[in-house]
Amino acid sequence: MMLEVRDLHALYGKSHILQGVDLAVDEGEIVSLLGRNGVGRSTTCKAIMGLVPPVGQISFKGRPIAGLRPDQIAHAGVGYVPEDRQVFPGLTVKQNLELGLKRAGVFGRWTFDDVFSLFPNLGNRQDNPAGVLSGGEQQMLTMCRTLMGDPDLVIIDEPTEGLAPKLVEQVGQLLDEIARRGTAILLVEQKLTIALKISHRLYVMGHGRIVFNGSPAELQANTAIRKEWLEV
């Protein structure tokens, strides 16, 4: 198993946000983490990445990573795309991508050409400052910069939030392509239709724990879980 999380807890001050989360992601698998806002999905990502102190077991490719620093976890092969589209606005698009490389000039599964063929908009603006890109294009750039580090697993938090439908479709295509190249994905997503379409498996969170684990077909058939934990 690429990523295994067992009995994961996390606290913010006195708030017990994660209350025994269990989840796993296998090689080349797209796994979605669904649930309403505030149930602990982003905290789960941050705890895996070491950005929130985790209590419990987290292993990556069979090696315990709970307690490691975020840079050590990233170096081990876990990529992370947070919700808040952080680009370096004064650097060009291409320079932003270069910063994602673990070693300057050394490419893994992804090259500039790969990124620019998937997202021609970024290719057309590769010499422009990243700060002039639209919000959607900045989201693409953030995701692609993470891929330049050639992670074996990438954790992506709400990639389609606030994007136009055409860009949402492009994100879906990118996620498919990431998995096709053998990189596993843990996806935090609000849009059920996208998650059902591209995921191999889905988890639903409620009140800091997992309340459902199954295939898209199983979730579609489970009206009770959707009503209680997903529908607004």
The domain ranges of the chain are: 3-230
Mean pLDDT of 140-160: 94
pLDDT score recorded for residue 69: 97
Flag whether pLDDT at 38 surpasses 80.
yes
CA distances from 45 to 54, 127, 179, 181, 212 (A): 10, 32, 19, 22, 18
Radius of gyration for the chain, computed over Cα atoms and rounded to the nearest angstrom:
17
What is the C-alpha to C-alpha distance for residues 63 and 58, in angstroms, rounded to an integer? 8
Mean pLDDT of 118-143: 93
CA distances from 89 to 129, 138, 189 (A): 6, 9, 26
Flag whether pLDDT at 102 surpasses 90.
no
Flag whether pLDDT at 209 surpasses 90.
yes
Flag whether pLDDT at 106 surpasses 90.
no
Topology (CATH level 3) of domain 3-230: Rossmann fold (3.40.50)
Flag whether pLDDT at 232 surpasses 80.
no
pLDDT score recorded for residue 168: 87
Strand partners, 10: 18
Question: Contact, 51 vs 70, CB < 8 A?
Answer: yes
Specify the DSSP class assigned to residue 109: S
Lowest mean pLDDT across 16-25, 98-107, 176-185: 98-107
Share of the chain above pLDDT 90, in %: 78
Question: What is the chain's mean pLDDT, rounded?
Answer: 94
- Is the CA virtual torsion 193, 84, 26, 104 positive or negative? positive
pLDDT score recorded for residue 206: 96
Token digits of residue 199:
């995921």
Flag whether pLDDT at 163 surpasses 90.
no
Mean pLDDT of 159-188: 90
Token digits of residue 204:
């639903």
pTM above 0.75, yes or no: yes
pLDDT score recorded for residue 170: 86
pLDDT score recorded for residue 162: 85
Flag whether pLDDT at 161 surpasses 80.
yes
Mean pLDDT of 42-60: 96
pLDDT score recorded for residue 171: 87
What is the C-alpha to C-alpha distance for residues 187 and 168, in angstroms, rounded to an integer? 14
